[in-house]
Chain A
Amino acid sequence: MFLHVVKYRLLAIIRDRQGMFWMLLFPILLTSMMSVVMMNLINEDMSISPARAAIVKNAAWNSSAPLQDVIATLNADEESLFVFSPVETAAEAEQMLASGDVHGYFIPDAENGLTLHVIRTGFPQTILSEFMSSYTSQARLISDMFRTDPLKALALAADGIQASRLTFEPIDPAQNVSNPWGAMFFTLIAMMALYNALQSATESTAVDPTVYSVGIRQRTMPQHHISIVLSSFAAVAVMGLLNMAVYLLYGQFLLGLDFGLTAYPLYAAAIAISGVFAGIAMGFLISALVPGKRNRHSAVIATSMVMVFLAGMMVLQMRQIVRENAPFLKYLNPADMITDAYYGLLYYGDTARAARNIVMLLVFTAVCLLLTYTRIRRTRYEHL
């Protein structure tokens, strides 16, 4: 009986083109696109060229020892994002700018300020502008930030040359970050895991006589109802795990993203598996709470999007903000658990942190299934 149901449910899932698109193709396309965009940005603007600027040695320069210090320090730092060329006159600087030797030039003024001259906007110009607006105390931090958190810096670049405010708490300052932008992709793995909830919502509908006539048939079978539900669960799990495996292998070996498959294969697999389970269980719970097939799918999509957002999908700092303002949320948000597990594993080699999150995911799964069971245990309905 069990295998019989699993076989036919798998067949049905595979033939559902729309479902397969959202569960597998969409995450793969999104990830491919993001990885191409990221690679380009990083190659063009960040890792290769630091921002180059001329600075005019006028009277204000001569009288400002701190400014000279900062410039000297930054120039001495090999990893600095700035290269300053002190020049004698503004005309000379203007010429360097026009010929493209520098991205901009600074003219110091008597009030310890700097005026920036540029002729284009862009990422280096933005850095220079940031430097200008905060050089006295924070220039050093900017250069730190670019080393630890280029994504945040990228966001600033998008704001253009007017960007005037910066916050300087680097998120998850890591010592051995080989692939800092990978963090973005952890949230995509979380999304991939949670999308399994869509499939489990479909399965719950197929056994629910209140929304679907097939459910009426299934309820008249000479089988314990829960055994049919569990068989469907198994089918969704098999499919979810296969999809996840395809996704991770594709990301790691074709796109060259680091999903930890080579360094920590067991942990990476355990995170993915428990994440898929959590997604499936969440779908069952949502279906048990929300009436109507359409409503269920909307509720599943909305819930997973919010969870993934809170785990930092669109704004990486989101995780930090949630941690500070609503720390309890991390116990309710499987997307955050998945992201955090990969973070710990790949940025810090912290297997304990990964293990903690895996346990949390499994507990989340168990709680969802338990709640679902108590909801659907009643086998006769008030209404049909």
Chain B
Amino acid sequence: MIQVHDLVKRYGKLVAIDHLSLRIRENEIYGLLGPNGSGKTTLINCMLALLSFDNGEIRIDEKDMSPTAYDLKQKIGIVPQEVAFFDELTVRENIDYFCGLYVRDKASRKSLVDDAISFTGLSEFVNFRPRKLSGGLKRRLNIACGIAHKPSILFLDEPTVAVDPQSRNHILQGVRALAKNGVTVVYTTHYMEEAEQICDRVGIIDKGQLLAEGTPAELKGMINTGDTIRIQLIADKPEALQEIRKIDGVHSLDVDADTLTVRTMPGAYVLDRLLRYLHDREIGYLSVASEKPSLNTVFLEITGRELRD
């Protein structure tokens, strides 16, 4: 469906996309997961033929994507990272304006616009000007403007940034519903929970390179740590912690002031032995938390950095 082959994009000296190749299949939700500045937006802008690039090729439906590939553009919908609509037009007028550039026929357009409005839950706000909408509602309008013409390929660039949990759930459910109806979705985010929650496959991108790719389960299977156990100690850095490494099933150990982070081997059950160890040495603790492996762990393992700064 979408093929990116050996893409290179430089901004002056900065290499924003570094020999990146990927393939997005029909009717999947493909997540591009990466921290700020990793090149997600740049990649999308290249795919949309908005940006020129230094090397590589981009094909959609086996055709070269270009600024004049109007037949391809007709099938594409976009939800840019920054909200994009006119402040002087109402919610309904904005959706109708953009939809009208894809769909000429007035009658069918009206029902498309109605669909988009109810799909994004904006029915109460159709006559509002954007400046009267909350941040979450603006995001929904941004989506409505991108999907009204019923595209078969949808690019969403961080559609949930700065959105309250309720609107975020609304948006995530909507994206899933679209995919169920046959839309291919390219979804960028730096929230790993989102990627895990809705994406069929995820590409982890950092510094313009695709570091790993697969279903969330596959990605988590690629790493060699299990749970992460965090323990908040009463005293700073007590002695004798180093021996924790010797406990069966412990993969690695990290002590930062009063927080002890222990990663386990995959499948190993360590918590019981760990707590007994602390108890035996009379090391007091305030809280214990255990996390299942997540895409954050994957990212950490691959890059040595946390996903969020």
A8 and B97 contact, Cβ closer than 8 Å, known pairs A213-B82, A220-B50: yes
Does any Cβ of B come within 8 Å of A124's Cβ? no
Whether A380 lies near B52 (C-beta < 8 A) is yes
Whether A8 lies near B93 (C-beta < 8 A) is yes
Does any Cβ of B come within 8 Å of A165's Cβ? no
Q: A220 to B47: give the CA distance in the assembly, Å.
A: 11
Render B74-100 as a binary contact track against A, CB cut-off 8 A, 1 for contact: 101010111111101100010011101
- Selected contact of B83 from candidates A1, A16, A213, A225, CB within 8 Å: A213
- Selected contact of A220 from candidates B42, B48, B68, B104, CB within 8 Å: B48
Whether B101 lies near A12 (C-beta < 8 A) is no
Whether B145 lies near A217 (C-beta < 8 A) is yes
Render B25-36 as a binary contact track against A, CB cut-off 8 A, 1 for contact: 000000000000
Q: Which of B11, B51, B146 has the most CB of A within 10 A?
A: B51
Whether A381 lies near B100 (C-beta < 8 A) is no
Which B residues touch A383, using CB under 8 A? 11, 51
A212 closest partner in B (C-beta):
B84
Whether A12 lies near B71 (C-beta < 8 A) is no
Which B residues touch A4, using CB under 8 A? 97, 100-101
Q: A345 to B97: give the CA distance in the assembly, Å.
A: 44
Whether A381 lies near B68 (C-beta < 8 A) is no
Render B183-207 as a binary contact track against A, CB cut-off 8 A, 1 for contact: 0000000000000000000000000
Whether B100 lies near A216 (C-beta < 8 A) is no
Q: A382 to B11: give the CA distance in the assembly, Å.
A: 8
Which A residues touch B83, using CB under 8 A? 213
Whether A224 lies near B68 (C-beta < 8 A) is yes
Which B residues touch A221, using CB under 8 A? 73, 98, 101-102
Whether B88 lies near A15 (C-beta < 8 A) is yes
Residues of B94-124 at the interface with A, using a CB-CB cut-off of 8 Å, are 96-98, 100-102, 104
Does any Cβ of A come within 8 Å of B67's Cβ? yes
Which B residues touch A213, using CB under 8 A? 80-84
Whether A12 lies near B84 (C-beta < 8 A) is no
A220 and B51 contact, Cβ closer than 8 Å, known pairs A15-B88, A379-B68: no
Q: A264 to B53: give the CA distance in the assembly, Å.
A: 57
Whether B70 lies near A223 (C-beta < 8 A) is yes
Which A residues touch B104, using CB under 8 A? 1
Q: A213 to B73: give the CA distance in the assembly, Å.
A: 17
Which A residues touch B20, using CB under 8 A? none
Which A residues touch B48, using CB under 8 A? 219-220
Which B residues touch A1, using CB under 8 A? 100-101, 104
A214 closest partner in B (C-beta):
B84
Q: A1 to B97: give the CA distance in the assembly, Å.
A: 10
Which B residues touch A228, using CB under 8 A? 101
Does any Cβ of B come within 8 Å of A384's Cβ? yes
Whether A216 lies near B84 (C-beta < 8 A) is yes
Does any Cβ of B come within 8 Å of A237's Cβ? no
Render A342-384 as a binary contact track against B, CB cut-off 8 A, 1 for contact: 0000000000000000000000000000000000000111111
A293 → chain B closest CB, angstroms: 13
Does any Cβ of A come within 8 Å of B60's Cβ? no
Residues of A140-180 at the interface with B, using a CB-CB cut-off of 8 Å, are none
A384 and B100 contact, Cβ closer than 8 Å, known pairs A11-B93, A213-B80, A224-B68: no
A222 and B70 contact, Cβ closer than 8 Å, known pairs A216-B50, A381-B52: yes
Which B residues touch A380, using CB under 8 A? 49-52, 67
Does any Cβ of B come within 8 Å of A206's Cβ? yes
Whether A384 lies near B45 (C-beta < 8 A) is yes
Residues of B39-57 at the interface with A, using a CB-CB cut-off of 8 Å, are 42, 45, 48-52
- Selected contact of B78 from candidates A11, A16, A220, CB within 8 Å: A220
B69 closest partner in A (C-beta):
A222
A219 and B50 contact, Cβ closer than 8 Å, known pairs A1-B101, A379-B68: yes
7 other contacts beyond A216-B78, A217-B146, A384-B42, with CB at 8 A cut-off? A1-B100, A8-B100, A13-B88, A213-B81, A214-B86, A224-B70, A381-B50
What are 30 A-B pairs at a CB distance below 8 A? Answer: A1-B100, A5-B101, A8-B97, A8-B100, A11-B88, A12-B89, A15-B89, A206-B86, A209-B50, A212-B84, A213-B81, A214-B84, A214-B85, A216-B50, A216-B80, A216-B84, A217-B78, A217-B146, A219-B67, A220-B48, A222-B101, A223-B70, A224-B68, A228-B101, A379-B68, A380-B51, A380-B52, A381-B50, A383-B11, A384-B51
